[in-house]
Amino acid sequence: MKAKGSSKRFRKCIIHIGTEKTGTSAIQAHLSRHRRTLLAHDILYPKTAGTNNLSQWEFVAAVQIAPWGTDLGRSLDIVDEASQQRFTQEFTARLEQEFAQHQSAQTLLISSEHFHSRLKQPRAIDALKRFLSPWCERFEIIVYFRRQDQVAISFQSTRLKSSVELKNSSLESAVRSHPRYFDLRQVYKGWANAFGANNMNPRIYDKKRWNSGNVLEDFASAASLPDLPTDAAFVNLSLNRQGYQFLRALNRVSPQPNGDKTDPMRLTLVQEISRRYAGKYYPVSQMEARKLMEQFHAQNEELRQLAFPQEPAPLFGDDFNEYPEIAEPLQENYDEAVEIALALWRHKQSEQHRANPIVNAIRKLLKKLGLGQQ
């Protein structure tokens, strides 16, 4: 079924582009969990994308410039231009099949923070619009912006989890290594130039601004979604100092090429460290965080004038009270390392005991027979 009064399949396409470190994983898990409810309200959040990852990065890979040089391309077996073309053709065919299965849907909803981090050039964003335009009558771009110092802290934590060796853990080093990533003004301008400023729906990522303090409810409001339960949301845990230091040492002692994330044993280890040592580590002081933000003053003021003219300056406020007056130093501690190793060993032993299928089957049978104590 085509959109009413249109020759195209969907009346509207909502594209959630992140940015990264603004609750995107929680939003994507939430949307995946409630696909049926969304469909009942004529909104299609396609299963075809995001089959192996919460982020629907297949849309990115289809239009990204030279994805074969990135971890994203490698994960999708894209090794050159020809394989990208084959991937795009196959992905298009799978999308068409899913679209045909849900004829009543009038809105296409897609979400990937990789739109922000991987589609940096104007021609790549234009390519996404060309890719989607045959199906979609009009577009709405939802984008969240977060203060750069807070993004840098989360960014460094994620890099550690991705096996990247951090030789310098300062926030300044993160900004220097990825300048376009932190230039929020250029992110807005790039997407507004491609899709039109009137189709931009910019939001500020700040829990204090939301009535419920919940990004899921704010996103639902932004996208005009039906009421969806928001309990048991996915949480992408940050690291406390112990977890931060452990993974930093792990990546130094056992480096992975290009931050490789394909080793299942390492992924399991990182997940357990993230769970056990969740929290916040601030590698800079209040004064250092303020100094970092000074370099973004002009950029953020231009962003405010373009996207948030109703907001007072400075756009993201001037509250740095979450930072310590003196940054907590990273000091390698032998006893602490032994404690973490011991906790991991005990966890492994416990998991192996619980996961023994023969033992579990015998226990269930004995319990069924009323012989559980024998």
Exposure b/e, 94-128, CB count within 10 A at least 16 = b: bbeeebeebeebbbbbbbbbbbbbbbbeeebbbbb
Q: What is the mean pLDDT of the chain?
A: 89
Contact 57, 87 (CB under 8 A): no
User: How confident is the model at residue 374, as a pLDDT?
Assistant: 43
d(CA 30, CA 109): 13
User: How confident is the model at residue 217, as a pLDDT?
Assistant: 92
Contact 95, 48 (CB under 8 A): yes
Among 217-221, 330-334, 338-342, which is the least confidently predicted range? 330-334
pLDDT over 70, % of the chain = 89
Q: Taking 70 as the threshold, does the pLDDT of residue 365 lie above it?
A: no
Q: Taking 60 as the threshold, does the pLDDT of residue 260 lie above it?
A: no
User: How confident is the model at residue 30, as a pLDDT?
Assistant: 94
Dihedral pair phi/psi, residue 70, rounded to 5°: -125, 165
Dihedral pair phi/psi, residue 46, rounded to 5°: -65, 140
First to last CA, the chain: 63
Looking at the whole model, is its pTM more than 0.85?
A: yes
| Nearby residues of 294 by Cβ (< 8 Å), 6 or more positions away | none
User: How confident is the model at residue 32, as a pLDDT?
Assistant: 94
- Using CB atoms within 10 Å of the CB of residue 77, give its burial: 0 to 12 exposed, 13 to 18 middle, 19+ buried: exposed
d(CA 228, CA 263): 35
Map tokens 């582009």 to a residue: 17
User: How confident is the model at residue 202, as a pLDDT?
Assistant: 98
- Helix, strand, coil shares of the chain, percent, nearest 5, are 55, 10, 40
pLDDT bucket at 235, cuts 50 / 70 / 90: low
For the segment 334-361, the average pLDDT, to the nearest whole number, is 76
- How does pLDDT run across 177-201, given as a tens digit for each residue? 889 999 999 999 999 999 999 999 9
User: How confident is the model at residue 361, as a pLDDT?
Assistant: 65
Query: What count of residues does the chain have?
Result: 374
Three-state SS for 339?
Answer: helix
Among 139-153, 247-261, 330-344, which is the least confidently predicted range? 247-261
User: How confident is the model at residue 1, as a pLDDT?
Assistant: 63
Q: Out of 25-29, 195-199, 362-366, give the one with best mean pLDDT.
A: 195-199
- How does pLDDT run across 90-120, given as a tens digit for each residue? 999 999 999 999 999 999 999 999 999 999 9
Structure tokens at 168: 């310098």
